[in-house]
Amino acid sequence: MSRLQAEHLYKVFGRRPEDAVRQLQGGADRTELRADGTTAAVIDASIEVDEGQIFVVMGLSGSGKSTLLRMLNGLLEPTAGTVRFDGQDLTSLSGKELRRVRSEKISMVFQHFALFPHRSVLENAAYGLEVQGVPRAERERRATEALALTGLEGWEKSWPDELSGGMQQRVGLARALATDADLLLMDESFSALDPLIRRDMQDQLLELQKTLKKTIVFITHDLNEAMRLGDKIAVMRDGRIVQTGSAEDILVRPANDYVASFIQDVDRTKVLTAGAVMDEVGTVLGSTTDKGTKLGTAAEFRAAAPATVGVDTPLAELFVPCSTSTVPVAVTDAQGELVGAVPVAKLLAVLGEPGRPEPAAEAAAPATAAKGKVIAGA
Ligand SMILES: Nc1ncnc2c1ncn2[C@@H]1O[C@H](COP(=O)(O)OP(=O)(O)OP(=O)(O)O)[C@@H](O)[C@H]1O
Ligand SMILES: [Mg+2]
């Protein structure tokens, strides 16, 4: 069950926003409205996020990402549409109720986390709990734990200006984690960091998420970051979500030319995995190799395959084995069960046809049975 649902959200800035929503529903676009000085920041956006999921919203500057995020925690009131967290409609709450939900259930981490310069790292990390009125001893204990989770053990008594930018950002993350909020909203949280530190933070978030299983909405304009972190990715353009899917869906089945051009420079061999492109084992069985070996059973196929890889193995690692044999590479799941086969022709086809948009009907039903994870950071 999804924990966070936003349905048909609109945010219009300017005069008579409700009229603008009606115009948009009637087919007007953003440019027409802008002529009257009205900005349609978010248009008909719907998302669903499950517990334990990292939902990435990706798009160019001005596409509406931050506006969408601010509606998710009620910092901005939607012009139309609803936001539900754990079944509770945030758009119907009073100001007071909303503040309570926000302080207990939702945490935000911004791009430049503003730490209080005259408070220690510990006090900064404990700030969210202080706002909630948690007694000092308990908030210090919880903040100390959260700092340890983000790798800042031993820095509790330091001042913010004694920390590097990356470490300060970790304090921001620790503050969000200390409150035990289940919903984390992260707006370009790692964008100001150097590439190596940024990667490190991404790893840490993925690692933390394995145990904490928060519901996370993560905003970025960085495609590689999106691919790396996102269980699901929504691509925004001019206020609208133009595609939602896994990294693999978006790479293999871009919904339109815009998404296709967005992803054209991604190194697909590093992002796509064996699991994402493999054929069913049945497609190999019954064939005979060029050396005359019959591949009648799964065991015979495995014995003849030039390599056996996991579903998570990036395609880049399949080229060498594929070049040595005409038999497909065998693919196994985490339990070591044979789940698929990657023939060399499939490998080449994936590279030869980078991201062509598919007809809407096909794009709507892209799921495959045993999907591999997509790895990141190509
Ligand atoms: N308070 C506001 N009043 C008027 N227009 C606004 C307001 N906030 C945002 N906008 C407009 O809404 C559009 C979307 O802005 P938003 O900040 O959501 O984009 P973004 O995708 O987060 O961009 P960036 O990547 O630069 O942060 C922009 O055209 C912006 O000018
Ligand atoms: Mg923004």
Q: Where are the domains of the chain?
A: 2-245, 274-352
Give the ligand whose atoms come closest to the C-alpha of residue 61: 1
Q: For 19-45, what is each residue's pLDDT tens digit?
A: 999 999 998 888 888 888 899 999 999
Answer yes or no: is the C-beta of 302 below 6 A from any ligand 1 atom: no
The tokens of 267 are what? 């190194």
Residue identifier of the C-alpha nearest atom 29 of ligand 1 = 62
* CATH code for residues 2-245: 3.40.50.300
Residue identifier of the C-alpha nearest atom 25 of ligand 1 = 61
Residue identifier of the C-alpha nearest atom 26 of ligand 1 = 61
Query: Residue range 283-297: average pLDDT?
Result: 87
Residue 236 CA: nearest ligand 1 atom is 21
- Percent of the chain at pLDDT exceeding 70: 93
The tokens of 305 are what? 């395959």
Answer yes or no: is the C-beta of 53 below 6 A from any ligand 1 atom: no
Residue identifier of the C-alpha nearest atom 10 of ligand 1 = 41
Residue 353 has pLDDT above 70, yes or no: no
Task: State the architecture of 274-352 in CATH terms.
Answer: Alpha-Beta Complex (3.90)
The DSSP string of 169-226 is HHHHHHHHHHTT-SEEEEESTTTTS-HHHHHHHHHHHHHHHHHH--EEEEEES-HHHH
CA 188 / ligand 2 centre spacing (Å)? 7
d(CA 263, CA 220): 14
pLDDT at position 180: 83
pLDDT at position 190: 87
pLDDT at position 366: 39
pLDDT at position 242: 96
SS3 of residue 345 by DSSP: helix
Q: What is the pTM of this model?
A: 0.81
